[in-house]
């Protein structure tokens, strides 16, 4: 009997655990260790953040689902990995600390035959001075954060309805933050709600981003086919912001937040600041801080993790110039190359390099987006990790056949542009591949027949439908495995 331990129960971890148990059945153990009691469908947090959904509409408790599936669940935070065991005992294990009320603070260990590190990112708010969620600024990175954001935003709308001018700032809160798409989505929804409440004349919204051009989204931008024409996503994005009455500041690295004031530096070295009454700024991401030790209790964290704390996998981490970046640098099976029974799908793996061109201000400050791995890529990599581990256990394979390189994988993204059954809207976009392949597609870097964009009510209905479908899938309801990631 083999034992597989999954760290984290987000999109990648929960997907991996579900497929592992489905494939392995009762003959093998699947254990999930995650610090939170809930699974949350993160793409819908933006609707919590504008008061269109309640927090419990985007989350559910993990314990009941895992009990039904036969998965052992520990609400705990992993603190260390011991891939060689300790002393004469060579059985690999992890150490964790319980975070639930009953056992809070108690340390324990769990042995494993295979380990899936799907912890996702640490929300590294402290990397930007004063970026304090719920105090100076707000966030929609978790359902709890989004709930707090709505409470504050609602008070801003109330002031606007009473004739007070209000300034809203939305975007990236660190020079190398990723998840521009989520922040962009939130900005559009805030503008939509302001107009719906007829307070838009008293609300000034500014989009601040570390992107060189709007619509970069951490993937180097794109060209999309729309109405028969090939259009840079920059034009697509700018037109949407203009339509929603949103101003923008691009090529900006936010460096410090004070109450009601965000300081930033532009790529050309210009330093400035922008005032706000409400700000929702995405923080930098980093690894969650797990350490690794060998059998002699010597720290080997650098063997498993990159300097940012994200896990090294089957990628080419050789330093290269931007012109030498290749899709072949990107991992395909998310397997650590030193300890091959350890995998890291989703945001937990260390990308080999950025997708967008690295840019620096004159003082050396890097100002450009980190690569996105949220949503669809997290689900896909979580699933192929589970299938590969199942094959290793059941078929004793020596070659992993399930592969999902971001240099070959397409992705679909639906950006909500306002919640409403009859007047809602969304910007729908597909790209293929996520990482541009300039050798195969020398003109645009991607296959244009599968890189398209459009805006309208239909997109909103699709996104709303996906909210319910993916929660259905995550809860393991009938035929959940038939739904694509």
CATH number of the domain where residue 348 is located:
3.50.50.100
At 58-93, the pLDDT tens digits run 999 999 999 999 999 999 999 999 999 998 889 999
Element of type H or E holding 427: strand 426-431
Question: What is the overall mean pLDDT for the chain?
Answer: 95
Q: What is the mean pLDDT of residues 156-183?
A: 97
Residue listed under structure tokens 């949103």: 246
Q: List pLDDT tens digits, range 109-149.
A: 999 999 999 999 999 999 999 999 999 999 999 999 999 99
CB 335 within 8 A of CB 313: yes
Please report, rounded to a whole number, the percentage of residues in the chain having pLDDT higher than 90: 87
Taking CA atoms, 162 is separated from 49, 156, 166, 169, 199, in Å, by 22, 10, 11, 20, 9
Report CA-CA distances (Å) from 461 to 42, 91, 170, 184, 423. Answer: 18, 50, 25, 19, 10
Which pLDDT score, from 0 to 100, does residue 390 have? 98
Q: Which pLDDT score, from 0 to 100, does residue 301 have?
A: 98
* Overall domain count for the chain: 1
- 248 and 89 Cβ atoms separated by less than 8 Å: no
pLDDT of residue 222: 87
pLDDT band at 8 (very low <50, low <70, confident <90, very high): very high
Question: How is 85-134 classified by DSSP, letter by letter?
Answer: -BTTB---EEEEEE-STTTTT-EEEEE-SEEEE----EEEGGGSBT--BT
Provide the pLDDT confidence category of residue 176 given band limits of 50, 70 and 90. very high
C-alpha to C-alpha distances, 191 to 152, 185, 240, 247, 465, nearest whole angstrom: 15, 10, 11, 11, 23
Residue 100 lies in a domain: yes
Report the relative pairing of strands 72-82 and 59-61 from DSSP bridges: unpaired
User: What is the mean pLDDT of the segment spanning 171-180?
Assistant: 96
Q: Has residue 191 been placed in a domain? A: no
pLDDT of residue 223: 85
So what's the pLDDT on residue 453? Answer: 75
Q: At residue 211, what are phi and psi to the nearest 5 degrees?
A: -70, 140
CA dihedral 384, 385, 390, 393 (to 10 degrees): 140
pLDDT of residue 431: 86
Tell me, yes or no, whether 45 lies in a domain: yes
pLDDT (0 to 100) of residue 265: 98
Domain assignment present for residue 326? The answer is yes
Instruction: Give residue 219's pLDDT band: very low, low, confident or very high (50, 70, 90).
Output: very high
- Is position 349 within any domain? yes
Assess if residue 265 is contained within a domain: no
**Which stretches does DSSP call E strand in 283-373?**
284-286, 291-292, 342-343
Asked if the structure places residue 98 within a domain, the reply is: yes
Q: What is the DSSP letter of 204?
A: E
Q: What average pLDDT does this structure show over 352-360?
A: 97
Top-confidence range, 227-236, 252-261, 366-375: 252-261
Task: Assess if residue 146 is contained within a domain.
Answer: no
Q: What pLDDT, in 10s, does the model give residues 433-480?
A: 999 999 999 999 999 887 777 788 988 999 999 999 999 999 999 999
Helix (H) or strand (E) holding 384: helix 376-394
pLDDT tops 80 at residue 227: no
pLDDT at 421 over 80: yes
pLDDT tens, position by position, 398-411: 999 999 999 999 88
- Lowest mean pLDDT: which of 265-274, 412-421, 433-442? 412-421
Domain hosting residue 334, numbered range: 3-123+285-394
């Amino acid at each position: 009997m083999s034992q597989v331990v999954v760290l984290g129960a987000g999109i990648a971890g929960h997907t991996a655990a579900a497929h592992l148990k489905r494939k392995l059945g009762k003959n093998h153990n699947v254990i999930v260790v995650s610090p939170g009691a809930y699974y949350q469908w993160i793409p819908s947090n933006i609707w919590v953040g504008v008061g269109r959904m309640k927090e419990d509409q985007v989350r559910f408790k993990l314990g009941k689902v895992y009990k039904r599936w036969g998965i052992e669940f520990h609400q705990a935070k992993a603190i260390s990995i011991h891939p060689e065991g300790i002393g004469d005992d060579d059985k690999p294990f992890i150490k964790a600390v319980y975070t639930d009320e009953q056992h809070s603070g108690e340390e324990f260990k769990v042995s494993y035959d295979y380990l899936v590190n799907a912890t996702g990112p640490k929300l590294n708010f402290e990397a930007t001075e004063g970026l304090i969620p719920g105090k100076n600024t707000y966030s929609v990175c978790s359902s709890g954060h989004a709930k707090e954001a709505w409470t504050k935003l609602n008070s801003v709308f109330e002031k606007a309805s009473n004739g007070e001018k209000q300034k809203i700032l939305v975007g990236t809160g660190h020079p190398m933050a990723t998840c521009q798409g989520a922040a962009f989505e939130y900005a559009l929804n805030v503008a939509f709600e302001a107009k719906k409440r007829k307070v838009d004349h008293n609300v000034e919204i500014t989009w601040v981003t570390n992107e060189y051009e709007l619509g970069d989204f951490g993937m180097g931008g794109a060209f999309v086919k729309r109405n028969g024409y090939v259009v840079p996503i920059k034009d697509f994005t700018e037109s949407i912001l203009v339509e929603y009455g949103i101003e923008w500041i691009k090529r900006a690295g936010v460096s410090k937040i004070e109450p009601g004031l965000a300081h930033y530096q532009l790529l050309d070295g210009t330093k400035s600041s922008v005032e706000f009454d409400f700000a929702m700024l995405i923080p930098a991401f980093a690894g969650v801080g797990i350490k690794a030790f060998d059998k002699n209790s010597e720290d080997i964290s650098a063997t498993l993790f990159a300097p940012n704390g994200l896990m090294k996998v089957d990628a080419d981490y050789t330093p290269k110039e931007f012109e030498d970046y290749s899709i072949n640098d990107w991992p395909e099976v998310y397997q650590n190359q030193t300890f091959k029974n350890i995998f890291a799908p989703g945001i937990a793996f260390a990308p080999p390099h950025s997708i967008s061109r690295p840019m620096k201000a004159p003082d050396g400050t890097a100002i450009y987006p980190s690569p996105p791995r949220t949503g669809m890529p997290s689900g896909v990599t979580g699933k192929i990790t589970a299938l590969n581990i199942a094959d290793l256990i059941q078929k004793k394979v020596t070659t992993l056949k399930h592969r999902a390189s971001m240099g070959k994988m397409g992705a679909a993204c639906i950006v909500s542009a306002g919640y409403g059954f009859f007047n809602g809207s969304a910007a729908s976009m597909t790209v293929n591949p996520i990482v541009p392949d300039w050798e195969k597609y020398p003109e645009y870097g991607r296959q244009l027949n599968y890189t398209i964009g459009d805006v309208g009510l239909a997109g909103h209905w699709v996104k709303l439908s996906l909210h319910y479908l993916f929660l259905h899938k995550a809860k393991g309801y009938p035929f959940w495995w038939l739904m694509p990631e």
